[in-house]
Structure 1
Amino acid sequence: MTKKRISEYTSYIWIKNELQELDWNTKNPNRNSDGQVYTQQECLDNEQIKKQLVKKKPEYVCKINEDNFYVIEAKGQIEEIDKAFQEACDYATLINKSKLIKAPIVSGVAGNDEDGYIVRSAFLEKGIFKTINYHSKEITSLISPSLCIELIENKSSSIKELEINEKQLLATAEDINEVLHLGSINKDERASVMATLLLSLIDDTKPNYNASATVFVKDVNNRAEEILIQHNKRDFFKHIEIKLPSKEEARKKYKKSLVSTIFKLKKINIKAAMFSGTDVLGKFYEVFLKYGNGAKDIGIVLTPRHVTTFACNILNITHQDVVYDPTCGTGGFLVSAFDYVRSNSSEEQLSEFKKHRIFGIEQQPKVASLAIVNMIFRGDGSNNIIDDNCLSVGLKRLVLNSSTTGEYVKTGENINSKVVSKVLMNPPFALKDKDEKEYKFIQHALDQMIDGGLLFAIIPLSVLTKSGVSKKWRQNQLLKENTVLSVISLPDKLFYPVGVHTCALIVKKGVPHPENQKVFWAKCNEDGYLTKKGKRLKNDSIENHLEQIEDKLKLFILNSNTKINNIPEFQKSEKIDFKDNLLELVPEAYLDQKIPTKEEIMIGIDELVREAAAFIIRSKNENEII
């Protein structure tokens, strides 16, 4: 059956909307002094452009500045992307013959509202239009004004820094979740479907979007499996393989949602974004797992990126560290450790680190698969991520080709040589199994560590306040075998909507806690994020207490004699009260109270008077009724 011809006119609204989202002023520059976008023949009103194009007119010409322009050409079918791109280059080449103006940036757009859209962009570098990229990964969206300026100033098609709009990222994740819902893809399968699609995109060759559902999904699965084979992780494919429904109509709907998802991922430059400082996959997984039931059933909460970055900084992760997360979930801490080392190491050092010194365990195979995908996209580091119960697995030192690394062994085997120097972890919350209390995960991690190693763990406050077995652990193991360096109360809504009050525990392994050793206590009520409509978004008007303590805490971890200013109800360095019968190791037990101002006292008195008056009135009314 011949496919119906679709005009490129259908793409005009889409392109204009995309340009607006990217902060282009889409008004005609000839009619508005702030305008930046010519639509079709409008560009011929510009004298210099008309001299070069004569009567030719691209779909859009964007004004970057007075003498630089950005050309966009569109076609109505996805398979016409090469044609759209080439015509954009041809228009730009004509403009570039001018001695007064240049068109160094071009984009070809192909597609329609029904099938979706794809974009190819290039920058004129040394006379050749080269693909715009970030860390060699193609930029697959239209180009923003600020990015155009950067490309021109650097005279290079390679972007140095890729800014990720977190609000747009979350909106795209929600949008994709809805698309997968409309495709009748089970909410608990969406994260693994996403993982497979992302793996399939690593290969730069395009799948046949017009193929049947069966052929298309087989191609996607084959691509994903091949990537896992290359990374010695083929066993995980069975956990993320996409499986089509049996009915033909359902298959078509399923396939349509997959294609739409791929185009939405391309729109946010997913492959390039994976190398940015943002944990892009973490954001997507957060949305998908939020709607599914699986995460709730197994106690998974995703650690926010700014917290994992904070942990890596204060522990000063280096390429020489062996980093371990025994409850790694989707890999948030490991991703941050990798990124932190990448920004502070040579290529050779990073290669050694990712191959030999990142270890993670996740009990749920599907979730472990997500962690593996996360690391593969960032340049690997997936070698030593496994699915298992961490409490039944240990890590011992191993030397491979003169490189220090570790290997997994079963708990109970004689581990003569420990290897882990840094632990980053957020064990599952609220597990009912009595054998899997949060402190047991911490103790397991400490058991794998070398003396002097550092542990950062996010745990419920109750682990450090409860009596019974929790107190015995604090008393007989945590403090008798290690030094507590710091405890930080974290914001109440950090894991919203999960209502667990949490803290960060920082421990030095192997040195019994001296009675005169001071601890850095801090209560961080704010982290620079605002909770609005069920989402937590960065907001510059909100204080960030984690940032405020970060530098001092990093110094304190190196030297506990570092002077810490005593700020009531916020921070203090103070010795542990070993005479405390409860042995509560939380900031609330050690921070000083603020001295109320005269105004605060008067407000308090006023409130007490009002409450007393209300109580008397209520009591009188109740007596009258009686």
Structure 2
Amino acid sequence: MTPRKTTSEYRSYPWIKAQLVSAGWNDKNPNVDPRGQVWEQNEALSNSEIRKGLGNQKPEFVVRVTDNQYWTIEAKATTAQLAVALTEATGYADAINAASQVVSARFATGVAGTAETGYKVATLFLTLAGEWKPLVADGVKVDTFLAPKDALRVISADNPDVSAVPLTVAEVVEIGKFINKTLHSAKVPKERRALLVAILLLALQRDPDISYSGDAQVFLSDVNARARTVFEDANRVPLWESLQILPENENVAAQATALSQVLQVIRSNNILNTAKSTDILGAFFESFLKYGNTSKDLGIVLTPRHLCWLAAEAVGIGKDDVVYDPTVGTAGFLVAAFNRVLATATPDEAEKFATRNIYGIEHSGSVAALAFINMYFRGDGKHNLKIDSSLPYRVVSVEGSEVLNFKHGLELVDGESTRVTRVLMNPPFALPDEEEAEIRFVEHGLRQLVKNGILFSVLPSSVLYDSNFAAWRKNLLEHNTLLSVVALPTDAFYPVATESVGVFLKRGSKHNMTDDVLWVKLTDDGHVKRKGFRVERKGLHYKEFLKPTADALRKWMVSGIATPAVPGQLEFSPLASNEWLAQVHLGTGLLDAADFEQRVRESYRRILVQHVSAPILEGDPDDV
């Protein structure tokens, strides 16, 4: 016999449906709309397989996860009755499973409470072994409603663990396309779209229940108010004043509608969780700017997250390192550094690293704001990020302080010392102002390091072979050691046409020309081109793919251990000329199609540099 429903239980129905919709489910009746996924009360009994098990029993809701796998939901009026609600929900599911050979109910959720007292939620998953197990995320029982993709993941793995899995590059690209289109329809400028996503993430973290209830002005004010508190807590209110959402009276409804749609996408794809582990804001920022070549116009080329990870791994960043990025962008390198420390540090150690051991400077205010928000998700927001050009500054400890200061001027004064042990950067290429050429950033980065500190920099390959830089390369080795050069894939920064290298230098010791250098040619980084973007090859994870290269670099960089050579790809030999190109020092390996294309491009570039001024080959017949 179906337990009698109370008025209070009925009052929970709108809240439950709202939670399902927010999680990404289609709340239409599957009997009426083939895309619908939610049956309410007796609607489920129209399904013959469900009716076979339930008879006249009527759960609050039955959710269609797949065509033959379902989810029962039962509600009770008081929070003290959560266990009762969960027991009844599993009872409904067991009845369906016992009666049908065609469908099965794999999830059961109990909901208890009212709008006044708040609601409690608990969910169980039925394994193939026949055991009901609680859903958990990061070791904690889940107390929210499942998203569709998480439900499918749990069923596929037959495992109730729904710990967040960072989005792949391909997923970020697709989500970015939708968000870009949505914000474009609301006439949001390209350069502000990632900032609005960041503001929504901050608002959502401060208030998980924030939503658009129909009043556009109230909704935008609510979002602003919640995001502003983050900047207030970090004493960054002036920065916030330049970022907040300014409602446009003639377009405020469209703005609010678009932001509400983006908020739903953020929730359903668990982007807030992804933002805590990767530079998704940078990915969005760059993808939005790629439309219409805005990124090229602004001189913004962000470092792909897999190369940030590779650099952080290669220099072996640990909890005691002090990391500095003088061209911080959206903080991709700093995020990678923090994530590496977080993997082994205690919570206190991680907090100390985030607030005292990470520093960066970015000249663009809007980009710096994204960096600030990225780092906020990794600590308390009191991070050491400065908005300015880094070249006129020094980053120093004053009177032995653990917290470093940005001081104007290049030379240390009494009472100051350097503490930076690692510099990671991707300076802007070929700026019109000669004073801010990429080599000046390398010199600046080296000045901030302690003796034997390591610098990694992405550079255009021409810096390593062009005769115009020959004197600079020679002088650099008078006071520093060249540890390694990594030739990056020709399309590493696609669709921007630039051939790049990664250079590792150790400060403070003249380079010994008889010492080995690690030369690496990274022809394949596990990514392929897809319509203006590079994404991971299907079924591949970049960390696993790049781990052998990262391990070889780290062993050499940190411990001086040479790993077995891979002819033509990874070899150790002394610097043989004033050209630092890896290709000049590597032996002959297997020449595949990608190698052949790269060598043709390099030859063509050399001819252009030496003889004529002409555009670089940019055609990409493989771009699909």
Q: TM-score, normalised by structure 2?
A: 0.76
Q: Deviations over 1:164-195 (max 9, x none)?
A: 34433321111010000001111222122222
1:186 to 189, 200, 203: 189
Once residues 340 and 596 of structure 1 are traced to their aligned partners in structure 2, the CA distance between those partners, rounded to angstroms, is 34
Aligned ranges 1:116-131 → 2 under 5 Å: 122-124=122-124
1:341 aligns to what? Answer: 341
Q: 1:135 to 1:321 in 2, by over 3 A?
A: farther
Aligned ranges 1:516-531 → 2 under 5 Å: 516-531=514-529
> Percent of aligned positions with the same letter in both sequences?
29
Q: 1:381 to 1:253 in 2, by over 3 A?
A: closer
Q: 1:72 to 1:532 in 2, by over 3 A?
A: farther
1:493 to 486, 491, 506: 491
Q: 1:145 to 1:255 in 2, by over 3 A?
A: closer
Q: What is the root-mean-square deviation of aligned Cα atoms in Å?
A: 4.2
2:319 aligns to what? Answer: 319
Once residues 291 and 591 of structure 2 are traced to their aligned partners in structure 1, the CA distance between those partners, rounded to angstroms, is 44
Q: TM-score, normalised by structure 1?
A: 0.76
2:223 to 191, 205, 220: 220
2:572 aligns to what? Answer: 573
Q: 1:345 to 1:596 in 2, by over 3 A?
A: closer
> Secondary structure in 2 aligned to 1:70?
strand
- Displacement of 1:448 in angstroms is 0.4
Once residues 86 and 72 of structure 1 are traced to their aligned partners in structure 2, the CA distance between those partners, rounded to angstroms, is 17
2:587 aligns to what? Answer: 592
Once residues 381 and 292 of structure 1 are traced to their aligned partners in structure 2, the CA distance between those partners, rounded to angstroms, is 33
Q: Deviations over 1:503-553 (max 9, x none)?
A: 000111111101111111111111101102222111158998844422222
Give, as a single letter, the amino acid of the residue that structure 2 aligns with 1:235: P
Once residues 173 and 82 of structure 1 are traced to their aligned partners in structure 2, the CA distance between those partners, rounded to angstroms, is 39
Once residues 491 and 222 of structure 2 are traced to their aligned partners in structure 1, the CA distance between those partners, rounded to angstroms, is 42
Give, as a single letter, the amino acid of the residue that structure 2 aligns with 1:587: A
Once residues 491 and 83 of structure 2 are traced to their aligned partners in structure 1, the CA distance between those partners, rounded to angstroms, is 50
Cα pair 1:64 1:148 within 8 Å, conserved: no
> Secondary structure in 2 aligned to 1:397?
strand
> Secondary structure in 2 aligned to 1:394?
strand
- Displacement of 1:484 in angstroms is 0.6
- Displacement of 1:290 in angstroms is 1.9
1:239 to 220, 239, 242: 242
- Displacement of 1:161 in angstroms is 4.8
Q: 1:286 to 1:87 in 2, by over 3 A?
A: farther
Once residues 139 and 296 of structure 2 are traced to their aligned partners in structure 1, the CA distance between those partners, rounded to angstroms, is 36
Give, as a single letter, the amino acid of the residue that structure 1 aligns with 2:453: G
1:45 aligns to what? Answer: 49
Give, as a single letter, the amino acid of the residue that structure 1 aligns with 2:422: K
Once residues 203 and 151 of structure 1 are traced to their aligned partners in structure 2, the CA distance between those partners, rounded to angstroms, is 32
Q: Which shows bigger deviation, 266-275 or 422-431?
A: 266-275
2:534 to 536, 540, 547: 536
Q: 1:171 to 1:146 in 2, by over 3 A?
A: same
> How many residues align structurally?
539
Q: 1:163 to 1:449 in 2, by over 3 A?
A: closer
Cα pair 1:319 1:349 within 8 Å, conserved: yes
2:165 aligns to what? Answer: 162
Aligned ranges 1:291-440 → 2 under 5 Å: 291=291, 295-380=295-380, 382-398=382-398, 404-412=402-410, 414-415=412-413, 416-440=416-440
Once residues 81 and 180 of structure 2 are traced to their aligned partners in structure 1, the CA distance between those partners, rounded to angstroms, is 35
- Displacement of 1:593 in angstroms is 3.1
Q: Which shows bigger deviation, 324-333 or 586-595?
A: 586-595
**Structure 2 runs not aligned, ≥5 long:** 1-13, 98-104, 112-118, 126-131, 593-624
Q: 1:272 to 1:595 in 2, by over 3 A?
A: closer
**Structure 1 runs not aligned, ≥5 long:** 29-37, 74-80, 109-118, 598-626
Once residues 259 and 120 of structure 2 are traced to their aligned partners in structure 1, the CA distance between those partners, rounded to angstroms, is 20
Q: 1:420 to 1:464 in 2, by over 3 A?
A: same
> Secondary structure in 2 aligned to 1:488?
strand
1:507 to 494, 505, 508: 505
Cα pair 1:481 1:512 within 8 Å, conserved: yes
Once residues 64 and 87 of structure 1 are traced to their aligned partners in structure 2, the CA distance between those partners, rounded to angstroms, is 31
- Displacement of 1:486 in angstroms is 0.3
Give, as a single letter, the amino acid of the residue that structure 1 aligns with 2:147: S
Aligned ranges 1:20-31 → 2 under 5 Å: none
- Displacement of 1:43 in angstroms is 5.7
Cα pair 2:567 2:588 within 8 Å, conserved: no
Once residues 282 and 108 of structure 2 are traced to their aligned partners in structure 1, the CA distance between those partners, rounded to angstroms, is 32
Give, as a single letter, the amino acid of the residue that structure 2 aligns with 1:519: V
Cα pair 1:452 1:508 within 8 Å, conserved: yes
Q: Deviations over 1:230-270 (max 9, x none)?
A: 122222112311112232xx221121111111111111012
Aligned ranges 1:254-269 → 2 under 5 Å: 254-269=255-270
> Secondary structure in 1 aligned to 2:175?
helix
Aligned ranges 1:609-624 → 2 under 5 Å: none
Q: 1:218 to 1:87 in 2, by over 3 A?
A: farther
1:610 aligns to what? Answer: none
Once residues 390 and 480 of structure 1 are traced to their aligned partners in structure 2, the CA distance between those partners, rounded to angstroms, is 24
Once residues 513 and 104 of structure 1 are traced to their aligned partners in structure 2, the CA distance between those partners, rounded to angstroms, is 64
Give, as a single letter, the amino acid of the residue that structure 1 aligns with 2:440: K
- Displacement of 1:355 in angstroms is 1.4
Give, as a single letter, the amino acid of the residue that structure 1 aligns with 2:582: P
Q: 1:142 to 1:379 in 2, by over 3 A?
A: farther
> Secondary structure in 2 aligned to 1:96?
helix
Cα pair 2:324 2:424 within 8 Å, conserved: yes
Once residues 486 and 424 of structure 1 are traced to their aligned partners in structure 2, the CA distance between those partners, rounded to angstroms, is 14
2:615 aligns to what? Answer: none
Once residues 571 and 80 of structure 2 are traced to their aligned partners in structure 1, the CA distance between those partners, rounded to angstroms, is 64
- Displacement of 1:149 in angstroms is 5.2
2:254 aligns to what? Answer: 253
Cα pair 2:330 2:367 within 8 Å, conserved: yes
Q: 1:133 to 1:44 in 2, by over 3 A?
A: farther
Cα pair 2:206 2:227 within 8 Å, conserved: no
Q: Deviations over 1:92-144 (max 9, x none)?
A: 54232477768654499xxxxxxxxxx9974249xx99996559896773353
Q: Which shows bigger deviation, 220-229 or 555-564?
A: 555-564
Give, as a single letter, the amino acid of the residue that structure 2 aligns with 1:472: A
Once residues 15 and 213 of structure 1 are traced to their aligned partners in structure 2, the CA distance between those partners, rounded to angstroms, is 24
Q: 1:287 to 1:380 in 2, by over 3 A?
A: farther
Give, as a single letter, the amino acid of the residue that structure 1 aligns with 2:445: A
Cα pair 1:325 1:423 within 8 Å, conserved: yes
> Secondary structure in 2 aligned to 1:189?
helix
Cα pair 1:526 1:543 within 8 Å, conserved: no
Give, as a single letter, the amino acid of the residue that structure 1 aligns with 2:204: L
2:200 to 188, 197, 201: 197
- Displacement of 1:58 in angstroms is 2.7
2:114 aligns to what? Answer: none
Q: Which shows bigger deviation, 449-458 or 141-150?
A: 141-150
2:61 aligns to what? Answer: 58
Once residues 107 and 26 of structure 1 are traced to their aligned partners in structure 2, the CA distance between those partners, rounded to angstroms, is 25
